[in-house]
Amino acid sequence: MRYPIEPFRIKVVEPIELPTLEERERLLKDAKYNIFKIPSQKVFVDLLTDSGTGALSQRQWAAMMEADESYAGSRSWFRLKKAIENFTGYEDPIPVHQGRAAEKLIASIFLHEGAGVASNTLFDTTRGNFLSVGARIYDLPTPEANDLSSDYPFKGNVDLNRLGELLKENRIKLIVMVLTNNTGGGQPVDLDNLKEAYALAQKYGVPLIIDACRISENAFFVKRRNPKYANWSLREIVLESFRHSDGAFMSGKKDGLSNMGGFLVLRDEKKRMRAKELLILWEGFIHYGGLSGRDMESFAVGLEESLDETYLEHRTGQVAYLTERIKEIGWNVMWPPGGHAVYVEVRDTLQHIPREKFPAHSLVVELYRRGAVRTVEVGSLMFKEAARYEFVRFAIPRRMYTRSHLDHVIDVMGEIYDDRVSLVGYRITYEPPYLRHFLAELEPAP
């Protein structure tokens, strides 16, 4: 494909630096081979996450200058409230500082020891929050997602047959549909799949909540890949998605195009009141929920900007460009290209490193060692036995990098491919009980 032309020009620049090989090797050792502990100024191209890392627009910066930092009744909150209501169709939203704060509220309100949660595949923080109250997690990705290389357009879907069976057995207390399916390779969920999942949820009287982090990207894929919705606007698709739910939460650091922010919406008024009580205890008053007025302003504008089709064409085009080039080198990738990130499955290419030695982590380390490129492991290190894949995720921050940055990543991936037999596995020397990848310490285990 042709590289997508940027629908913006650059007004502010931030210098980046490529440290020497000696420095990179020392930094890796000092970080105990945990990429989260590398200082960001020592990273040349940072594809660790697209969460809160994108460039803000001039409209966002202008809105931030008008922010109202009042504790109660802030003008900025009422602006954000209206933006969330327009975006979701829900009334009376609850602000949170980021997605996982909403996850904690949901866990406290909906779940308890032994409660079953079904999902197309939960994200790691959602899983961690739900496990922390003793919930049982059932990830039910569609069987089509097992074939990474097929052209199936909606590999983020939930397996409706298995969902129906578990609901029938009365094992599920909550359904969470993640749009797009981050852990399942950034793949979109078809609107029709969501509608059918919601019909099942209603049949069995179980609430369905949408994790709406990347719902604008998801809507873009629905429009492009399901001919039924080809003439719908992205706003209509997003609203129709939210209509098929009993609640939703969003990390505004993704399709809110903001550095910080999030929200929770719930249809049930009693549950909403409970969420507000807990919000005040944990996050802050109901008119800011842990956010500054500036965050709320930038989030309100970002929600609108995320539905701009020109922006989404460029964004998904960048992901497709990087996916195609990496695939051409010989690496296995999640196909077709999804939203926000490229997912490289390393098991075949790094066959000499067993899963217990974290082959995807090995590639993460090597990408930094060779090119100061930072990515993240989404495999056995992150998910332990629950890992379905050994992915390295290359998440592209929004509106930030240009073609030559992506070409640098492609060059490094080419070099590593040629030298792949030289990569070694890793062993953990320290790990915390939850979300171990953030704080884990490792050492090479040749």
Query: Which residues of this chain interact with ligand PLP, rule CB under 6 A?
Result: 51, 98-100, 123, 125-126, 178, 182, 211, 213, 251, 253, 262
How distant is the alpha carbon of residue 421 from its chain centre? 31
Q: Which is nearer to ligand PLP, 218 or 332 (CB)?
A: 218
Q: Which is nearer to ligand PLP, 251 or 323 (CB)?
A: 251
Ordered alpha helix ranges (H), 330-400: 359-371, 380-383
Q: Which is nearer to ligand PLP, 207 or 339 (CB)?
A: 339
Q: Which is nearer to ligand PLP, 211 or 390 (CB)?
A: 211
Q: Which is nearer to ligand PLP, 28 or 122 (CB)?
A: 122
In the structure encoding, which two tokens stand for residue 22, read together? 């000696």
According to DSSP, residue 391 is labeled E
Q: Which is nearer to ligand PLP, 142 or 349 (CB)?
A: 142
Under 8 Å between Cβ of 142 and 120: yes
How far, in Å, CA of 130 to CA of 390, rounded? Answer: 23
Q: Residues, the chain, total?
A: 446
In the structure encoding, which two tokens stand for residue 171, read together? 């094992």
Smallest distance from ligand PLP to CB 293, Å = 19
Smallest distance from ligand PLP to CB 189, Å = 11
Smallest distance from ligand PLP to CB 28, Å = 24
Smallest distance from ligand PLP to CB 150, Å = 23
Under 8 Å between Cβ of 254 and 260: no
List strand residue ranges (DSSP E) for 196-352, in order: 208-211, 247-251, 262-266, 332-333, 341-345
**Taking CB positions, which residue lies at the least distance from ligand PLP?**
99
Under 8 Å between Cβ of 260 and 52: yes
Tokens 């007004």 belong to 11
Q: Which is nearer to ligand PLP, 184 or 337 (CB)?
A: 184
Q: Which is nearer to ligand PLP, 70 or 292 (CB)?
A: 292
How far, in Å, CA of 424 to CA of 418, rounded? Answer: 15
- Residues 6 or more apart in contact with residue 68 via CB below 8 angstroms: 74, 75, 76, 77, 293
Tokens 């050792």 belong to 29
Q: Which is nearer to ligand PLP, 299 or 335 (CB)?
A: 299
Under 8 Å between Cβ of 281 and 129: no
In the structure encoding, which two tokens stand for residue 212, read together? 């709406």
Smallest distance from ligand PLP to CB 374, Å = 15
DSSP per-residue string spanning 234-274: HHHHHHHHHHT-SEEEEETTSTT-SSS-EEEEES-HHHHHH
